[in-house]
Structure 1
Amino acid sequence: MNSENKPALAAAAQAALGRLAKNCPGLKWATVATKDGAEVASHGVGADEKLSVMTGTMHALADGIVGEAELGTCHDIILAADRGRIVILGLRGAASELVLAAMTSPQTSLGLLLNCCNTASKEIGAMLEAQPA
């Protein structure tokens, strides 16, 4: 990822997270971070840099487990808790250095959350692919 693209990436990620919030009822927070935990953009109450670091680290750990199990690479992590759900998606293509994480209330369906997060990740990836190398 070119350092000149960082402001455009942050703006595109912030816009994608805004649309994610609009389209996913019950969304409490969402973040886009690098796999080493640097926050790119965030949305919602409670989204802070600690969550970015933790989601990047968790995805890296899960990717290591998946690799050791000879299953390829980790794409998605789903966490279900008493008071909500969190999904962590490893972005693909030009955005493969990034993760997107989102948390919803328990009333939000997992399918809706995954669909909305996949749409947001594709938007971010499309922006990066359109950027000159």
Structure 2
Amino acid sequence: MTEFMIDEITIPATLQSPEAADFIATVDVRNVVEADGYGSDELSFSADELLPGWLDQEFEPKRLFAVRVDGRVVGRATYETQTAGDAEVVWLGVQVLPEFRRRGIGTALADHLEAIADSERRGKRIVCAVSKDAAGERLDE
């Protein structure tokens, strides 16, 4: 089993901040996983493009977690809520680089997010996960 640790990432005020490297690394993971799942990098965004959304926490609080293996960010998890409306709802996301899958990293991230949702009494959990086409039944779009 691969040894890894989960850390909450501080969202940097700017990409020139000392803590920006971790945020940028999670964006890199996001882009690789999205491109792998969709078969295209058309939905890749730069850290500069994504940072404003992460800084806007007033109405849509977000938390970002990273998994490191030997110091390298290889996975990330997102935890997003709202301050108004249905306080029970949380949006969860887990992304792990393809070469680090099947090692328990995604499960550990999902368990981590579920524990936070449990502690905040958020019983309605919404997950959107990108996946490649594969054999078997699929939901109609």
State the TM-score, normalizing by the size of structure 1.
0.30
Q: Which has the higher helix share?
A: 1
